Structure 1
Amino acid sequence: MKRFFTVFTLILTVAFVAPQVEAKKFGGGKSFGKSFKTAPVKKQQPQQTNTLNQQQKPGANQAAQSSKKGLMGGLLGGLLAGGLLAAFFGGAFEGIQFMDILIFGLIAFVIFKLFKTMRGAKSTPMGHREAYAGNSPQQKQAQFRQQANGMNAGAAQQEEYVSTDSEVPFNLPPSFNMNAFLNGSREHYRKIQGAWNHNELETIREYVSPALFNDLAAERAKLDGEQHTEVMYVDAELVRADYDANIAQLSIKFSGRYKDRNEGVEEDITDVWHLERDLRAQNAPWLIVGIQA
């Protein structure tokens, strides 16, 4: 029994005293710099969709009915034409068979369908073709309003997406391409993690604000030598956006997983980067001003 308590005490001592091994990700898993409240965004469905569908349904029903009528009319017309031909040639061709009548009817039906198709194509209004091509009067008015308001691709995305939290703004800055920005963010996340592993502080300086760089440099100095944190996969999501005449702000949530082969550990990526851009300076870069781990 005394030996059992000795072993049990040794196990507890090792469990509590031994250092916890974890992957050394960018920032050391801590929060630095500015912090903002964030929330996921959802795609806002256009309200005109149902109305347009309702407007198109009667036309679709009419087209279906017209198709049915045309089919029945063509069949009846073909059979009637076959009967008339049979009656007309009844005296001259007394040996005509029932199969000959069906052949005449089929020929008449094909001619009738071709004639109807050609006439329908000629009578189709150009307005319908323009509507399918995206040049309907309503769409032209919408395009005109967008041009008048100076809207661009980024502003269009602003109308399609909205924050799930009313307290969190989601106002995309001018000339902002959200998809391209998020794709680039994933690559930058990997690049910055690599610079953190190799202690390449000058590379990190290009991506962060001066105040945040000082905090990160002090944190990196606590680590000895190169680190071996490998990003397995990472995704990026825009969770906040706002701007005024001077500054544009964005918050990106990264989610994924990374590992350290040397330490034999894996961890989830749950980081939020807050970025700012000076709109008063031409071609000013986006800089990370805060990290939430």
Structure 2
Amino acid sequence: MMKRYITMFALLVAVSFTAPHAEAKKFGGSKSLGKSYNTAPAQKQQPQQTDTISKQNPTASAGKKGLMGGLLGGLLAGGLLAAFFGGAFEGIQFMDILIFGLIAFLIFKFLKGMRKAKPTAMGHQQAYAGDSPQAQGAYRQQADAFTGAATAQPEYRATDSDVPFNLPPGFDMNAFLQGAREHYRTLQGAWNFNELETIREYVSPALFDDLKAERSKLDGEQHTEVMYVDAELVRADYDANTAHLSVKFTGRYKDSHEGVEEDISDIWHLERDLMTPNAPWLIVGIQA
């Protein structure tokens, strides 16, 4: 009897820990590096039109999935208990081992299914519309957005009164965020292939040293792909010498070899030297 319990427990533990994690393979190693600031979402000071197209019943598919998952779990549990207490496992024969293996496989598939990405919402499709051929021309016109642009913007303020939201003069927020999404993908690709010189162009010298040390902990090429990513400005301030911005990225990425998916939830803190003409924005901190 004790032997059966030990075998069952070992199988469950093995299945629970077989799912690898891709977090360390994401740009920055999913660690907080460099400078950090308090941040908060921003909102316009005037009313905005809201989009109601995608306000379908978001719980419908989730409810079905949950129902199927509950039924599957119940059937598995019921069948296992019936077989266990009915004496089917008594003596641990070859067929018992096959049954244990089948149970372990089903549990693994169930856990893997729970980790799958949620259906992509319309907002996520729009978030990287610049990747489509129709939008490439528009994106090329915005390619210098990461260095700033001279377009008037509505007044914004942070939802947290302790977080500043003072945009630098002539700053084009929408173009900047469009460029930021593309730069997120670019840096993830450079991280995958250990292209340190590419990374150096986007970050401050101090942060580069930290990133170089983190990347050295990974062997060879990595296979982390950004599935979709959106960007939101969560802090902005400037003085006579330097402008500061914080951008929050949300989305989903996966390891294409291991089939593991994780959420994106990173904040990049950037600075720009206002005393130098056409100075680039440099990432000075990553907050995971």
Partner of 2:167: 172
Partner of 2:14: 14
- Letter in structure 1 aligned against 2:238: Y
Considering only CA atoms, is the larger Rg found in Structure 1 or Structure 2? 1
CA–CA separation in structure 2 for the residues paired with 1:20 and 1:263: 7
Alpha-carbon spacing, 1:17–1:183, altered in 2? closer, same or farther (3 Å): closer
Which runs of no fewer than 5 residues in structure 2 stay unpaired? 48-148
- Letter in structure 2 aligned against 1:41: A
- Letter in structure 2 aligned against 1:34: K
CA positional deviation for 1:176:
1.0
CA–CA separation in structure 1 for the residues paired with 2:17 and 2:182: 38
CA–CA separation in structure 2 for the residues paired with 1:31 and 1:261: 24
Look up the SS of the partner of 1:184 in the other structure.
helix
CA–CA separation in structure 1 for the residues paired with 2:164 and 2:2: 64
CA–CA separation in structure 2 for the residues paired with 1:262 and 1:18: 14
CA–CA separation in structure 1 for the residues paired with 2:16 and 2:226: 29
Q: TM-score, normalised by structure 2?
A: 0.61
1:275 aligns with 2:247: no
Counterpart mapping for 1:58-69 below 5 A: none
Partner of 1:245: 240
- Letter in structure 2 aligned against 1:35: S
Look up the SS of the partner of 2:22 in the other structure.
coil
CA–CA separation in structure 2 for the residues paired with 1:18 and 1:231: 23
CA–CA separation in structure 1 for the residues paired with 2:18 and 2:226: 26
Counterpart mapping for 1:196-275 below 5 A: 196-275=191-270
Task: Work out which of the residue numbers 276, 287, 292 in structure 1 matches 2:287.
Answer: 292
Q: TM-score, normalised by structure 1?
A: 0.60
Once the two structures are superposed, residues 24-60 of structure 1 have per-residue CA deviations (whole angstroms, 9 ceiling, x without a partner) of: 11011111000000000111117xxxxxxxxxxxxxx
Partner of 2:155: 160
CA positional deviation for 1:162:
1.2
What is the aligned-residue RMSD (CA, Å)?
A: 2.0
CA positional deviation for 1:177:
0.9
Partner of 2:51: none
- Letter in structure 2 aligned against 1:262: H
Partner of 1:191: 186
Once the two structures are superposed, residues 130-186 of structure 1 have per-residue CA deviations (whole angstroms, 9 ceiling, x without a partner) of: xxxxxxxxxxxxxxxxxxxxxx965x42x5211111100000112211111111000
Once the two structures are superposed, residues 221-253 of structure 1 have per-residue CA deviations (whole angstroms, 9 ceiling, x without a partner) of: 000110111111111110000000111000000
CA–CA separation in structure 2 for the residues paired with 1:236 and 1:16: 33
- Letter in structure 1 aligned against 2:2: K
- Letter in structure 2 aligned against 1:28: G
Conservation of the 8 A alpha-carbon contact between 2:22 and 2:224: no
Counterpart mapping for 1:70-85 below 5 A: none
Look up the SS of the partner of 2:263 in the other structure.
strand
Alpha-carbon spacing, 1:35–1:222, altered in 2? closer, same or farther (3 Å): same
CA positional deviation for 1:195:
0.3
Alpha-carbon spacing, 1:36–1:222, altered in 2? closer, same or farther (3 Å): same
CA–CA separation in structure 2 for the residues paired with 1:14 and 1:226: 27
Alpha-carbon spacing, 1:17–1:161, altered in 2? closer, same or farther (3 Å): closer
Question: Which structure features the higher share of helix residues?
Answer: 1
CA positional deviation for 1:10:
2.3
Look up the SS of the partner of 2:162 in the other structure.
coil
CA–CA separation in structure 2 for the residues paired with 1:165 and 1:273: 18
CA–CA separation in structure 2 for the residues paired with 1:16 and 1:231: 25
Conservation of the 8 A alpha-carbon contact between 2:20 and 2:260: no
